[in-house]
Amino acid sequence: MEQRECCSELRLRVTELETVLEVGRQITATLDSERIMDGVIDACKGAVKAEAGTLWILEEDAYLVPLAVRGPKADRLKGLRLKRGEGLAGQVCESQEPVFIEDVTSDERWASRFDDATGFVTRSMMVVPLFTDDRAIGSLQLINKLDGSLFDESDLRISMALAAVSAKTIVNSRNYTQQRRFLDTLLKLMASLLDARDQYTLGHSERVSRHAVLIAQGLGLGLDEQDVIERAALLHDIGKVSIPEDVLTADPLDAKAWEQIKKHPDLGADLLLQLEPKSMVRQLWAGALYHHERFDGNGYPVGLNGTDIPLVARIIAVADAFDNLVSQQRYGMSKGIEEALEEIEQCSGTYFDPGIVDVFVGAVRARRVSKA
């Protein structure tokens, strides 16, 4: 090989390596599996300048689904499933060997059913396997060079390398997302069982969590903080699980029953202290313990005031009160939304943090206007 050819080959390999490193850096910047898969397909499509691309992922070890699709006919793939081994994507996933069809017009492996059905014209295609520790997880399909030329060996090398660096991240992020989903649904189930002990509180904790997230968003808190506040709000009344049902539902509520109910913040905080890891419990604990504190210091169980009350508890206090005003009918006190908002505003600075009241009332009114 002449020196000039050698240099240009070297430059090509360096560019390929830089592309792979950059994509690797981008896709490890988040844990969200959808964003990672979108990032992988965009990066791969961009790296080989493809017209279209599909990330096929093996689900339940039985079929492939297109979880990230790009290209002119992308929406035609929505809802499609391939059995293991079906189509080129399925074959590549099974064999863990890439398929490189430089020119589909001269290759018998190419079946043009999709093109016939959509009007899309496939000229050149690569399908590379996604696998980790010899376990197939899917395949990555790239179609047509944007400039009208055909894919070459360098494009295949880049695609293979990108698939290799992406596979483990995709698996880890999907596991993480599924674990989170399981945890979130478990917390909602726990909260709904708690609320169901009293017919007047059905759905209360989940509604409070939605209001609390609205406030967290309005305060400009990050996604992680919003998640913690959502969970803390779901569990804010968890201490009521230790209070007998006849006390919870006492009507009218006498002084003795009230004294017992007032213990639920302490009881809930004690329960939550059993969770691990402690770093994830602190906010849940604070939400349960302090959500009946008042901004003017006249709340319970401690009598904290102002910003000594943790933010999570100040948020839940407003969300909780609003849902009690709007949804609870035990004492015939259910109010309309505007009436409830006005009552919350009247308690700004005494019961509630004025900044949080402003954010919540503003957000609810804005939503009502946009829906009208």
Residues engaged in binding Fe ion (CB under 5 A): 237
Which ranges in 196-262 belong to alpha helices (H)? 204-218, 223-234, 245-248, 255-261
C-beta nearest to Fe ion: residue: 237
Closest distance to Fe ion from the beta carbon of 146 (Å):
59
Task: Report the residue number, 69 or 340, with the smaller CB distance to Fe ion.
Answer: 340
Task: Report the residue number, 38 or 237, with the smaller CB distance to Fe ion.
Answer: 237
CA-nearest of 351, 358, 266 to 305 is: 351
Strand partners, 129: 139
Closest distance to Fe ion from the beta carbon of 204 (Å):
9
Task: Report the residue number, 237 or 293, with the smaller CB distance to Fe ion.
Answer: 237
Closest distance to Fe ion from the beta carbon of 232 (Å):
12
Closest distance to Fe ion from the beta carbon of 50 (Å):
55
Task: Report the residue number, 41 or 238, with the smaller CB distance to Fe ion.
Answer: 238
Rg (CA), the chain: 28
3-state helix, strand, coil in the chain (%, to 5): 60, 10, 30
Report d(CA 200, CA 248) in Å as an integer. Answer: 10
Task: Report the residue number, 233 or 341, with the smaller CB distance to Fe ion.
Answer: 233
Task: Report the residue number, 74 or 261, with the smaller CB distance to Fe ion.
Answer: 261
C-beta contacts of 12-19 below 8 A and 24+ residues apart: 12/154, 16/154, 16/157, 16/158, 16/161, 19/47, 19/158, 19/162
**Going by DSSP bridges, is the β-strand pair 82-83/125-132 parallel, antiparallel, or unpaired?**
unpaired
Q: Which helix (H) or strand (E) holds 64?
A: strand 63-70
Closest distance to Fe ion from the beta carbon of 356 (Å):
17
Contact call for residues 71 and 51 (beta carbons, < 8 A): yes
Closest distance to Fe ion from the beta carbon of 237 (Å):
4
Hey, what amino acid is at 52? Answer: A
